Every structure is written in structure tokens, then in C-alpha cells.
């Protein structure tokens, strides 16, 4: 006879150690013991008698237990699967799903791919994840993430006006999800559905001062700037070496040989992934020698003010320029590269291939091969010294040679 809700609610244990069983039919019964009331389903699979736990009353009602019984019977009759094993598999799948949240998997991906990017880039994308992604989808299992989840996350960045960063973060989320596809956690990368969903930022060049007399004003402001010694030294060195801001702030003492006046930047820190050699002028060597007495005991030439185990913040030089009165429309940390490129070509008449090589742009030899880092080193060393000397002349007020007019 089938069980009733009233009976189940009122029945009491008799005290038997094994408990009392009350059948509901088709293999399901209520097991009543001193601790509580338990739903069970007896069945045979592979010639063996087995029992499946269906839950505890009252959390699982009579109707709920019967639904679970029918699902188990279907698994046996239609799917020819052991419902007990199905339950174990489902439990394990849920555990895997719960463990593989976006934050967990993204952390694994960041660690596995760290060697392929510069330290400064690794820090930047890690900070993007921690600040702009994890608070919104970090706790979601990757299998539950939909395209709208990623879109709503990056649109928060779009609303703040950081369009380039929003697009970059969308790409990063896609890279993480493609890693999930490769490792069997999900079937597809849902960010593929977001093409055209974000606004497109207009392409802008980095602001830079390229007029010699104004460069003199900039250099005098730099040498008058007072602040942390790390920031002052970085600011003075930036125009002399004109490397990318991330390459400058992540410079390590092990890369610099003051004896030979060379800075050898490993390829993993470079945008083009090739090793790069920067000949150091006497002015650059002097700046670094003075700084070595302060930071030479650590890893980074320009350590973070808050944590010497990390390199200087990407906002340090930008903040210093703003503090000196140079707005982002006038000069940026990246602008030292355009400043050098323009004046060295149009004023100092330096060889364009040497300038491009020193900028770590892709330069090919006559046979179409990329030059190695030591190519034309003597000529580049002389060029870098002439550039530093020229900046000194502008700073102390010597006559500046004007840019050539187009067509002159």
C-alpha cells in the first residue's frame, strides 16, 4: 500500500537498530530510525542488488522522492545506466563545476602563460582581472558564463570611458575561455558572440613634444622635478633611452652593465619578443650609477615605492608629467619615443634605419632578415651619445635647431 503524507509525518521509530522500513511501491521505501526518516530505492543492476539514497524527509517530500524514484527507474530501463553511478557522476561533475570558477581558471591561465609576456604586461592584465573582471564574474563557474555576462562586465569599463582597455579585457576573457575549451571544461568561447558589441575607440597617437625649444622646456622641468629618487631617475632616463614605458619601469639591475654602458632587455619583455640592446650614453650611465647606490641591492632599477619586490607603477612617470604641468594632450610617457624619432630624423639627420632599430621596431637587412640586437652597435652607440648631448644643449638653453619645413 502506498504511503501517505500523514503517515510519514506521524510515524515514529520503534527502536530497532536497523530501523523500520515502510514500502511505497516499485522498490521505494521510507526507512525510519532514531536519527530521522530516509528515502531509499532498492534495485538490481548487473546482477547485483543495490540501494540508492533519495534524500531525507522532510527536506525531500513524498512527491519529491517519487520523482527521484521514477528518474532512477528510467535510468535503469531506458538508459541502461546504474542510477547510483549516475548520482556519483553528477556529484563529481557539480564539484568540478563549483571548483572551476572563472577566477580560479583565469589564475591558472595567467600563470601558465606568464612566460610569453613582459613582467609589466603580466602585472597589468592581472590588475585588470582583479579590478574589472573577478568582482563580477569571478565566482561564476566557467560552464555557466554566457556572452551577456562578459558583455555586462566590459561595458562597465566602456561606461568609464576606457574603451581600449575594455576591448583588451574582452579579448583576455576570450583567451581564458578558449583555454577552458582546450581543457574540456566548456564547449565554446562565448565571447565570439560579442563582435561589434562594444564601441570602437578612435585611434590616437601618443601625445609628444617634438619642437626643439619646447623639448628644452620639458628637459628643464624634468631636471627641476623633485620627488622620489626612483621617479626622478626614471624621468631623467626616459628621454635618453626612449624605450617603451613598461620596458623602462620593469628594468632589472641584472640587465644593465655599467662597465660596458649597455642595457640588454630580454625578449620576453619586448613587444616584438626579440632581445634588445640599448647603448647607454655617459649621461645615462651617470643617472644609473647614482641610482644604483639607492636601489642596487634589489631586483628592479625602479622599484615600487610601496613594495620593492615589484617594479614602479605605470602611472609614476605619467603622474610626474602631470605634476609638472604637461597634460596628456601635450606629453605622455610613451611620447619620449616619438620625440626622439622625430627630432633625430628631421633635426639631427640621423640614419632612419638606426633610429628604427633603436626603437626596437622591425628592421630588416638587405636579405629580409631581422637584425640581431648587436647590429650596428658602434653606430648606434655614437647616435645615442649625440642624442643625449643634444638634449643637454636644449636643457641649458643653447640655440635649438628648428624642424625642417615640409618641402624645404
Q: From the first residue on, what is the mean pLDDT of each consecutive set of 10 residues in the chain (408 residues)?
A: 91 91 94 94 92 94 95 90 86 72 93 84 89 93 93 90 87 94 92 88 72 93 90 94 91 95 88 84 96 92 88 88 90 91 90 88 56 77 96 80 45
In this predicted structure, what is the pLDDT of residue 398? 56
- Total domain count for the chain? 3
**Left, alpha or beta for 313 (phi > 0: left; psi -120 to 50: alpha)?**
beta
The residue out of 194, 226, 249 marking a domain boundary is: 194
Residues 64, 67, 73: CA angle, nearest 5 degrees:
145
Kindly name the residue from 156, 167, 271, 381 that is annotated as catalytic: 271
Spatial contact of 268 and 255, defined as CB atoms under 8 Å apart: no
The residue out of 194, 228, 248 marking a domain boundary is: 194
In this structure, the answer to whether residues 252 and 386 fall within a common structural domain is yes
In this predicted structure, what is the pLDDT of residue 370? 52
In this structure, the answer to whether residues 256 and 384 fall within a common structural domain is yes
Kindly name the residue from 91, 361, 364, 404 that is annotated as catalytic: 361
Please indicate, yes or no, if residue 325 is contained in any of the structural domains.
yes
Kindly name the residue from 66, 334, 357, 395 that is annotated as catalytic: 334
Please indicate, yes or no, if residue 94 is contained in any of the structural domains.
no
Please indicate, yes or no, if residue 205 is contained in any of the structural domains.
no
In this predicted structure, what is the pLDDT of residue 227? 85
In this predicted structure, what is the pLDDT of residue 176? 95
Kindly name the residue from 337, 341, 380, 395 that is annotated as catalytic: 337
In this structure, the answer to whether residues 189 and 216 fall within a common structural domain is no
Query: Order of strands across the sheet with 37-45?
Result: 20-25, 28-32, 37-45, 48-57
In this predicted structure, what is the pLDDT of residue 205? 65
Backbone angles phi, psi at 27, to 5 degrees: 90, -10
- Domain of 70? 5-87
Kindly name the residue from 22, 225, 228, 371 that is annotated as catalytic: 371
CATH of the domain at 249: 1.10.443.10
CATH of the domain at 116: 1.10.150.130
In this structure, the answer to whether residues 106 and 58 fall within a common structural domain is no
CA dihedral sign, ordered 108, 111, 116, 118: positive
Please indicate, yes or no, if residue 310 is contained in any of the structural domains.
yes
**CA–CA dist 298, 307 (Å, integer):** 11
Give a three-class secondary structure readout of the chain: CCCCHHHHHHCCCCCCCCCEEEEEECCEEEEECCCCEEEEEEEEECCEEEEEEEEEECCCCHHHHHHHHHHHHHHHHCCCCCHHHHHHHHHHHHHHHHHCEHHHHHHHHHHHCHHHCCHHHHHHHHHHHHHHHHHHHCCCEHHHCCHHHHHHHHHHHHHHCCHHHHHHHHHHHHHHHHHHHHCCCCCCCHHHHHCCCCCCCCCCCCCCCCCHHHHHHHHHHHHHCCCCHHHHHHHHHHHHHCCCHHHHHCCEHHHEECCCCEEEECHHHCCCCCCEEEECCHHHHHHHHHHHHHHCCCCECCECCCCCCCECCCCHHHHHHHHCCCCCCCCCCCHHHHHHHHHHHHCCCCCHHHHHHHCCCCCECCCCCECCCCCCHHHHHHHHHHHHHHHHHHHHCCCCCCCCCCCC
In this structure, the answer to whether residues 187 and 254 fall within a common structural domain is no
In this structure, the answer to whether residues 61 and 25 fall within a common structural domain is yes
In this structure, the answer to whether residues 121 and 180 fall within a common structural domain is yes
Active site (annotated) includes residue 22 = no
**CA–CA dist 116, 266 (Å, integer):** 12
Active site (annotated) includes residue 337 = yes
Please indicate, yes or no, if residue 129 is contained in any of the structural domains.
yes
Please indicate, yes or no, if residue 111 is contained in any of the structural domains.
yes
Please indicate, yes or no, if residue 110 is contained in any of the structural domains.
yes
**CA–CA dist 300, 283 (Å, integer):** 20
In this predicted structure, what is the pLDDT of residue 88? 81
Please indicate, yes or no, if residue 268 is contained in any of the structural domains.
yes
Active site (annotated) includes residue 244 = yes
In this structure, the answer to whether residues 244 and 387 fall within a common structural domain is yes
The residue out of 163, 194, 225 marking a domain boundary is: 194
In this structure, the answer to whether residues 78 and 107 fall within a common structural domain is no
In this structure, the answer to whether residues 360 and 244 fall within a common structural domain is yes
Residues 6+ apart with CB under 8 A from 268: 115, 116, 117, 118
Kindly name the residue from 66, 69, 170, 244 that is annotated as catalytic: 244
Active site (annotated) includes residue 371 = yes
Active site (annotated) includes residue 271 = yes
CA distances from 20 to 14, 30, 317 (A): 7, 8, 78
CATH of the domain at 46: 3.30.160.390
In this structure, the answer to whether residues 79 and 112 fall within a common structural domain is no
In this structure, the answer to whether residues 42 and 175 fall within a common structural domain is no
CB atoms within 10 A of CB 154: 27
**CA–CA dist 234, 312 (Å, integer):** 9
Active site (annotated) includes residue 195 = no
Amino acid at each position: 500500500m502506498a504511503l501517505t503524507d500523514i503517515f510519514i509525518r506521524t510515524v515514529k521509530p520503534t527502536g530497532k537498530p536497523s530501523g523500520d522500513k515502510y514500502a511505497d511501491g516499485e522498490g521505494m521505501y521510507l526507512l525510519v530510525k532514531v536519527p530521522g526518516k530516509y528515502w531509499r530505492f532498492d534495485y538490481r543492476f548487473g546482477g547485483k542488488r543495490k540501494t540508492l539514497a533519495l534524500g531525507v524527509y522532510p527536506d525531500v517530500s513524498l512527491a519529491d522522492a517519487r520523482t527521484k524514484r521514477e528518474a532512477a527507474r528510467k535510468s535503469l530501463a531506458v538508459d541502461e545506466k546504474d542510477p547510483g553511478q549516475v548520482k556519483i557522476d553528477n556529484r563529481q561533475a557539480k564539484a568540478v563545476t563549483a571548483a572551476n570558477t572563472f577566477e580560479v581558471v583565469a589564475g591558472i591561465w595567467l600563470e601558465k602563460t606568464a612566460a610569453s609576456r613582459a613582467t609589466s604586461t603580466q602585472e597589468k592584465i592581472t590588475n585588470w582581472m582583479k579590478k574589472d573582471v573577478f568582482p563580477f564574474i569571478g565566482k561564476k563557474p566557467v560552464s555557466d558564463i554566457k556572452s551577456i555576462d562578459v558583455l555586462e562586465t566590459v561595458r562597465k569599463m566602456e561606461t568609464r570611458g576606457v574603451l581600449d582597455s575594455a576591448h583588451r579585457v574582452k579579448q583576455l576573457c576570450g583567451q581564458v575561455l578558449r583555454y577552458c575549451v582546450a581543457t574540456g571544461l566548456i564547449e565554446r568561447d562565448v565571447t565570439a558572440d560579442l563582435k561589434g558589441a562594444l564601441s570602437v575607440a578612435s585611434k590616437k597617437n601618443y601625445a609628444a613634444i617634438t619642437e626643439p625649444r619646447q623639448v628644452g622646456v620639458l628637459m628643464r622641468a624634468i631636471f627641476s622635478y623633485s620627488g622620489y629618487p626612483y621617479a626622478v631617475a626614471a624621468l631623467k632616463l626616459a628621454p635618453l633611452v626612449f624605450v617603451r614605458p613598461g620596458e623602462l619601469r620593469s628594468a632589472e639591475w641584472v640587465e644593465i652593465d655599467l662597465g660596458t654602458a649597455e642595457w640588454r632587455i630580454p625578449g620576453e619583455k619586448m613587444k616584438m619578443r626579440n632581445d634588445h640592446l640599448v647603448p647607454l650614453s655617459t649621461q645615462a650611465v651617470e643617472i644609473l650609477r647614482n641610482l644604483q647606490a639607492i636601489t642596487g641591492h634589489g631586483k628592479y632599477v625602479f622599484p615600487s615605492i610601496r613594495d620593492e619586490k615589484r617594479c614602479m607603477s605605470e602611472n609614476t612617470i605619467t603622474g610626474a608629467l602631470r605634476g609638472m604641468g604637461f597634460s596628456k594632450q601635450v606629453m605622455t610617457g610613451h611620447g619620449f619615443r616619438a620625440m626622439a624619432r622625430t627630432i633625430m630624423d628631421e633635426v639631427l639627420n640621423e640614419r632612419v634605419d638606426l633610429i628604427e632599430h633603436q626603437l626596437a621596431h622591425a628592421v630588416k637587412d638587405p636579405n629580409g632578415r631581422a637584425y640581431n640586437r648587436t647590429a650596428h652597435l658602434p653606430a648606434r652607440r655614437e647616435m645615442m651619445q649625440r642624442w643625449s648631448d643634444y638634449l643637454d644643449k636644449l636643457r641649458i638653453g643653447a640655440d635649438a635647431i628648428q624642424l625642417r619645413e615640409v618641402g624645404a
